[in-house]
Structure 1
Amino acid sequence: MRKIIDLCRQVPLLPIVLVAVIPLALIPTWRPWGHIPGAFDPGVGEWIVIALVAWTIVDSIREMVASIKEGHVGVDLLAVVALASTVLVQQYWAAWAVTLMVASGDAIESYAQSKASSNLTALIKGAPQQAHVITLPGVNGDHGQPDEDGFREVQQQIEEAAAGGEHIDAGNGHFVTVPVADVKLGSVLIVLPGEIVPVDGTLLSGSATLDLSNINGEPVPRTVFSGAHVLSGSINGSTTMMIRATSLAADSQYQQIMKLVSSAQQSRAAVVRTADMLAVPFTVISFLIAGIAWAASGTPLRFAQVLVLATPCPLLIAAPVAYVAGTGRLAKANILIKAQDVLENLGRVTHIFFDKTGTLTVKQPRVVGVQKAKSAPANLSEDEILLMAGVVESYSVHVLAKGITEAGREAMVRLHRMPQSAQPGRRNPQTAGRQLPDPGVDYPVVGNIVEDAGKGVSGTVDGRRITVGRYAYVTGQAIASATAHNAKEAEANEKAMAQADRDAAKLWPTQLAPDEMATYIAIDGTLVARIVLRDIPRANARKSISRLHDMGIDDLTMLTGDKQASAMIVANEVGITDVRYGLLPEDKVSAVEQASREAAAGPDPWWDRVMTKLLGESMHRPVTMMVGDGVNDAPVLAVADIGVAMTDGTSTAASESAQVVIMDDDIACVPKAVAIARRTKRIMLQAVVTGLTLAIIGMVCAAFNLIPVVVGAFLQEAIDVVSILWALTAMFDRD
């Protein structure tokens, strides 16, 4: 009931038209003023209909003018002439039906647009609206930078107040609630349990559990610790947390997502503009059929009979509704586009380029094996080696550190040395409130961490000295500790270190593959193992490439700066045969530009030339697409017809160079996006062609007096409903 009331508020003409049927049915010819001689002498009920017709005509003309000013084709002329002609031939029931058609058409359009954009609306409703800025002295940036203990003390006060049932707000001096747009850089905010993080910031409190489903669709909450980057739009878990704002609201992650959503909603796809253009010849054809019917029959009634069936709604409403529905369907799949033109182009992609590292493969090299040295103790397991290496590497910024850290964390779980509360998606109810260590867990004790950039990292784990890094470093060779005083000495040291790594490879019976790399670990000065890592393909990369082939997209190319041997291994694993290796960023740009030029040099169909003249762009030219991580690939993303940036939500999603942003870092979204785009266009064309075909058949029948004028008016409404409802099916998941 509420939805009906809201719909009537949006289209106030609809309830008025529905109420007007009562006097038209009960007192159509009642004339309290008496009978006025003449051919035109309507009663009360009929005058009400005439007034509604007049109002509708004026409103329709105003909308036509507004559409033309916005650059769209105003084709409500058919409805205007149909309304006027039914009154002139004194077919008041038909006039009422056409008025109902116009009002209900607006209501159906409003409902359809709302339904089609429901997934986009859900994103908009999730936008942060307010923030709690801490007002305690000495906390925010303008009062100085308190030490870590100061932040803990403030958080403890807030948590104790909340735990005691105290209402914490501006009234007792803890914080003041302000609009999110008023948050300043450096402000310290608290986010209460269950609230949306208002702006991007750095976590100051000990730890927090965040729901990132609004950002990247990740279903399992993510536990982060002090110093972590916290994204706006994520939802806080069960503990109060404190963050320092690192971005203004307008620049934060969720607002970037909002800009993409807004841009997509306001744009119009080229195919929708084509539908607008086709509405003009349809209007001309409708008038021709109506004029010929009038001339042949000799009665103006036949003219009205034809025009009440002339409905451009499949063009004016069904086409844009289908594309908004498709845009919403993409958003539901965590794929955001900047404009509906992108959706149109997605369905016409002919050549896709993939960056290798981080796109076809995982973002960091992963551990694929631990190979123990002859000097390693027999009772030392691979998991224990990974645990100690992972703990030490967690303090390193080296490119291999994250892969070793992740493998170490998994080993800790297997060895039952990871607190349950620190495992993804796991919470210990006895310690969740204060994030204290789980009792009985033998968590590694770490200390004395020292990193030597480019060589390795060392420290103590459970009292044992652990060294992880290059062979010369972990074995204590002099070249690893030599100090370079100039560039020449630094170069010589690096060559010696590289030679030591090559010599170390001979100590193991198996040689590293071209795409593998190794780091070494020593315990208490004894070399115990080498940890082998490689850039492994994503688990679903091959399946995604295979699906693109099944969809008829055979031109798939991998671009990489890696050497041929390692590039070919990954390409063979994912199923790509066209590999361009050893490329610099400018080489990647040239490769995409060359593919675009070669594709554009093909035959130019006459229909494509017509569309180019009408729309200023080709509707059938080949389309190139580049898929990358949106950061290092920015130049090549910009030069491709469609740039697709894949992100896991921990980096800025709205890359300026990308037209499509995949929010959940899933390569399977690439074929899914193409499939949704193709299905959207197919449904749009089906809705338009079906609606126009039924309308033309109905007009021809009416021209031969087979459909009465009142029946025709209601039949036209049914055609509109069928077309629009069919267009709405683009929002359903049938891929």
Structure 2
Amino acid sequence: MKKILSFASKVPMLWLVLACGLAMGLLWRPHQVIAQWVVTILVAISLIDTLRGMIDDVRHGHVGVDILAVVAILSTLAVKQYWASWAVVLMLYSGDAIEQYANNKAQGNLTLLVEAAPQVAHVVDGGREARIDGHSLPEESDWKTVPVAQVALDDLLVVKPGETVPVDGEMVSPSATLDLSTINGEPMPRQFYEGSQIMSGAVNGSGTFLMRARQLSRDSQYQRILNLVRSAQSSRATVVKTADLMAVPFTVLAFIIACVAWIISGEPTRFAQVLVLATPCPLLIAAPVAYMAGSGRLAKAGLLIKTQDVIENLGRVSHIFFDKTGTLTVKRPQVTHVDMADQQSAEWETGQVLAMAGAVESYSVHILANGITAAGNRVEEGRTRQGDARFKAQDVQEEAGNGVRGLIDGHTVRVGRMAYVSGGDPAVSESAFAPLAPDEMAAYVSIDGDVTARIVMKDVPRDDAAQTIADLHALGIERLSMVTGDKEESARVIADQVGISDVHAGLFPEDKADLIAEAAKAEPNREPWWDRWLSKFVGESITRSITLMVGDGVNDAPVLAAADVGMAITDGTTTAASESAQAVIMNDDIASLPRSIAIARRTKRVMLQAVLAGLSLATVGMLCAAFDLIPVVVGAFMQEAIDVVSILWALTALLGSGLNLPGIPWVRVRHPCG
């Protein structure tokens, strides 16, 4: 009931029109003149409201073609078809209601993300903070609830069970269980420990915990997600803008048919009969609804886009470039073993070194840091069971491209390249350790300036990477390339395992960007027929290849920007991704890529079907009305039926992709007309 009342409050004119219709029905026989005045006043009110809406549309860059509705209402009134006038006004405002419903339905998945945004935070009072040892929880009287925008850097915050983490920060309590499904769709809660970085938007489990704010609300992860959502909601795809413009010639066509019918028949009623059936809604409403529905469908599949133009480009992609590490391979290259330096093996144990390195690397954004942190956590779990305290890193600093350092129990620990951890000492080199295998990589560790160990990791493909490549081939995309800064030998090992034959190794970011720019000049292998048809209106060349770059979003910013579509694949905790890419896979699932392309293609196909079906039905209806086959009142209701058909058809973009690729359990959708 609450939802019904809320919806009703958004369309007050519809209720006024229905009330006037009831009054006309009661007054028509005893007081017909009064009933006629009722509809005349209603028409005047609706015309003023419609004209204001047209002016507002033009101000916002939309084509104002409600002139058809205006002329239809006036023409029916002029020929004294009062019930037809009322019917046209009813259709006008019921159309608004249908449009609102369709937009709400289309934006549903995006709106859920916005509504889940953190609103408040519990800030521990500064005067009381000194009494809290970091593990004990304050009394409720020691903290106050404020809007999340008022949280300052380094504020101590209380997060109660079931509440949303308000800002990005650092765990102060010993541990907590957080649900990340709102951020990245991860189904299972994740355990976080003291010193861990936690993201806004995560939902607390069953225990209250303390955290330290490290970002303001406007700079936190969830706010970046919301920026992507709002950008997609406010954008208008090029095809949708073109559809707006195509509404103008349709309006002209409607007036031509109406005028010819009037002139040939000599009956002014024919003019009204034609215009009440003239509806540009398939262009003005169905097209944007389909694209907004596609945006919501992509969000549900784990992909957030910045603009709706991404949907168009995704559907036309003909060449896809993949980064290797963290994209085709797992986010956490697995630690296979630790090689200790001979002179340090007596002073430090292997487990200690790995745990200390993991504590420092937990603050790093480098792709190798995840694997070291995970291995270090496994060691720490064993140490804590034996009664040892967890290592906690302080004063952590990262030097991009070289490594990270921090203080642990008074020791300076460095993890990264050999030159970085050794302080540039030429007497120390990688030759002190045995050579690495082609598919191995290493990070070096120094403690208090002495090179202590080498952590050896191995890159392994994602479990579904090979199936993803196969699905892309099934979609007709044959040009698939790997671009990486790694060595040719290690790149080839992964490429062979996932099924990519075109490998470009040893590249710097600028080399990758140049390679993508060159690929854009090539002719695409295949394009859907509707792209060729739309290119005539949009003015795009059908010979240019559309490129897509998939990367982890951290080290690939310039490369993601170079492609027509830059797609960052993250687990929802990488803030750099939303800055550098036009699309972000939030659930760390590379299988979302072929799903997204299929959804984008289907969205465009559904949009075209809705537009063409709606315009075809409207044109046939106008021609029938021109030959006096459809009465004016019936025509008004038929116009609304055409609108409903085209809009509901557009909403089917919310449903399954209509494809049935191996490994992708989509539901095949049948449209109402076949």
Whichever residue aligns with residue 133 of structure 2, its letter is R
Preserved contact between residue 653 and residue 661 of structure 1 (Cα < 8 Å):
no
Question: How far apart, in 1, do the equivalents of 2:370 and 2:572 lie?
Answer: 18
Preserved contact between residue 338 and residue 659 of structure 1 (Cα < 8 Å):
yes
Alignment of 1:257-276 (within 5 A): 257-276=225-244
Alignment of 1:237-276 (within 5 A): 237-276=205-244
Preserved contact between residue 367 and residue 531 of structure 1 (Cα < 8 Å):
yes
Whichever residue aligns with residue 47 of structure 1, its letter is W
Preserved contact between residue 53 and residue 95 of structure 1 (Cα < 8 Å):
yes
> What are the superposed Cα offsets for residues 50-88 of structure 1, whole Å, 9 maximum, x if unpaired?
111122222212211221222211111111111111111
1:156 is matched with 136
Preserved contact between residue 294 and residue 301 of structure 1 (Cα < 8 Å):
yes
1:21 is matched with 21
1:628 is matched with 551
Preserved contact between residue 647 and residue 653 of structure 1 (Cα < 8 Å):
no
Question: How far apart, in 2, do the equivalents of 1:370 and 1:201 lie?
Answer: 31
1:354 is matched with 322
Question: How far apart, in 2, do the equivalents of 1:321 and 1:698 lie?
Answer: 23
2:176 is matched with 208
Please report how far the alpha carbon of residue 136 of structure 1 lies from its aligned counterpart in structure 2 after TM superposition: 4.7
Whichever residue aligns with residue 66 of structure 1, its letter is D
Question: How far apart, in 1, do the equivalents of 2:128 and 2:351 lie?
Answer: 40
Please report how far the alpha carbon of residue 334 of structure 1 lies from its aligned counterpart in structure 2 after TM superposition: 2.1
Please report how far the alpha carbon of residue 207 of structure 1 lies from its aligned counterpart in structure 2 after TM superposition: 1.1
Q: TM-score, normalised by structure 1?
A: 0.77
Question: How far apart, in 1, do the equivalents of 2:80 and 2:160 lie?
Answer: 67
1:434 is matched with none
Question: How far apart, in 2, do the equivalents of 1:673 and 1:601 lie?
Answer: 19
Question: Residue 47 of structure 1: which of 27, 37, 43 is its match?
Answer: 37
User: What is the root-mean-square deviation in Å for CA atoms of aligned residues?
Assistant: 3.7
> What are the superposed Cα offsets for residues 158-202 of structure 1, whole Å, 9 maximum, x if unpaired?
3xx5xxxxxx2xxx3x11111111111121111111111111111
1:501 is the counterpart of 2:418? no
2:10 is matched with 10
> What are the superposed Cα offsets for residues 575-632 of structure 1, whole Å, 9 maximum, x if unpaired?
11111111111111111111123449999x997775456xxx6587432111111121
> Which structure has the bigger radius of gyration?
1
1:394 is the counterpart of 2:358? yes
Preserved contact between residue 608 and residue 620 of structure 1 (Cα < 8 Å):
no
> What are the superposed Cα offsets for residues 102-128 of structure 1, whole Å, 9 maximum, x if unpaired?
010000001111111111111111111
Question: How far apart, in 2, do the equivalents of 1:199 and 1:46 lie?
Answer: 61
> What are the superposed Cα offsets for residues 187-235 of structure 1, whole Å, 9 maximum, x if unpaired?
1111111111111111111111111111111111111111111111111
2:397 is matched with none
Alignment of 1:289-688 (within 5 A): 289-367=257-335, 391=355, 394-395=358-359, 397=361, 402-403=370-371, 406=374, 490-494=425-429, 497-498=430-431, 500-502=433-435, 513-517=437-441, 533-599=457-523, 611-612=537-538, 621-652=544-575, 654-688=577-611
Q: Residues 293 and 681 (structure 1 numbering): CA distance in 2 closer, same or farther, change over 3 Å?
A: same
Q: TM-score, normalised by structure 2?
A: 0.84
Please report how far the alpha carbon of residue 408 of structure 1 lies from its aligned counterpart in structure 2 after TM superposition: 7.2
Please report how far the alpha carbon of residue 250 of structure 1 lies from its aligned counterpart in structure 2 after TM superposition: 0.7
> What are the superposed Cα offsets for residues 502-554 of structure 1, whole Å, 9 maximum, x if unpaired?
4xxxxxxxxx7521358999xxxxxxx99964111111111111111111111
Please report how far the alpha carbon of residue 261 of structure 1 lies from its aligned counterpart in structure 2 after TM superposition: 0.8
Please report how far the alpha carbon of residue 679 of structure 1 lies from its aligned counterpart in structure 2 after TM superposition: 1.0
Q: Residue 245 of structure 2 aligns to a residue in which SS?
A: helix
Q: Residue 700 of structure 1 aligns to a residue in which SS?
A: helix
> What are the superposed Cα offsets for residues 616-657 of structure 1, whole Å, 9 maximum, x if unpaired?
x65874321111111210111111111111111222155322
Question: Residue 97 of structure 1: which of 74, 87, 93 is its match?
Answer: 87
> What are the superposed Cα offsets for residues 384-442 of structure 1, whole Å, 9 maximum, x if unpaired?
x99788656534649867536645766999xxx69xxxxxxxxxxxxxxxxxx8xxx65
Please report how far the alpha carbon of residue 4 of structure 1 lies from its aligned counterpart in structure 2 after TM superposition: 2.9
Q: Residues 405 and 205 (structure 1 numbering): CA distance in 2 closer, same or farther, change over 3 Å?
A: closer
Question: How far apart, in 1, do the equivalents of 2:372 and 2:303 lie?
Answer: 31
Please report how far the alpha carbon of residue 23 of structure 1 lies from its aligned counterpart in structure 2 after TM superposition: 2.5
2:51 is matched with 61
Question: How far apart, in 2, do the equivalents of 1:730 and 1:243 lie?
Answer: 42
Please report how far the alpha carbon of residue 566 of structure 1 lies from its aligned counterpart in structure 2 after TM superposition: 1.1
1:129 is matched with 119
Question: How far apart, in 1, do the equivalents of 2:534 and 2:282 lie?
Answer: 23
Whichever residue aligns with residue 21 of structure 2, its letter is V
Please report how far the alpha carbon of residue 3 of structure 1 lies from its aligned counterpart in structure 2 after TM superposition: 2.9
Q: Residue 163 of structure 2 aligns to a residue in which SS?
A: coil
Unmatched runs of 5 consecutive residues or more in structure 2: 340-348, 394-401, 410-414, 446-452, 658-665, 667-674
Question: How far apart, in 2, do the equivalents of 1:225 and 1:28 lie?
Answer: 76
Whichever residue aligns with residue 474 of structure 2, its letter is D
Q: Residue 521 of structure 2 aligns to a residue in which SS?
A: helix
Q: Residue 656 of structure 1 aligns to a residue in which SS?
A: helix
Question: How far apart, in 2, do the equivalents of 1:211 and 1:196 lie?
Answer: 9
Question: How far apart, in 2, do the equivalents of 1:406 and 1:114 lie?
Answer: 42
Q: Residue 71 of structure 1 aligns to a residue in which SS?
A: coil
Preserved contact between residue 393 and residue 401 of structure 1 (Cα < 8 Å):
no
Q: Residue 664 of structure 1 aligns to a residue in which SS?
A: coil
2:109 is matched with 119
Residue identity (%): 54
Q: Residue 578 of structure 2 aligns to a residue in which SS?
A: coil
Please report how far the alpha carbon of residue 343 of structure 1 lies from its aligned counterpart in structure 2 after TM superposition: 1.6
Preserved contact between residue 540 and residue 667 of structure 1 (Cα < 8 Å):
yes
Question: How far apart, in 1, do the equivalents of 2:285 and 2:431 lie?
Answer: 66
Number of corresponding residues: 623
Whichever residue aligns with residue 103 of structure 1, its letter is Y
Whichever residue aligns with residue 586 of structure 1, its letter is E
Preserved contact between residue 389 and residue 405 of structure 1 (Cα < 8 Å):
no
Question: Residue 155 of structure 2: which of 168, 175, 187 is its match?
Answer: 187
Whichever residue aligns with residue 204 of structure 1, its letter is V
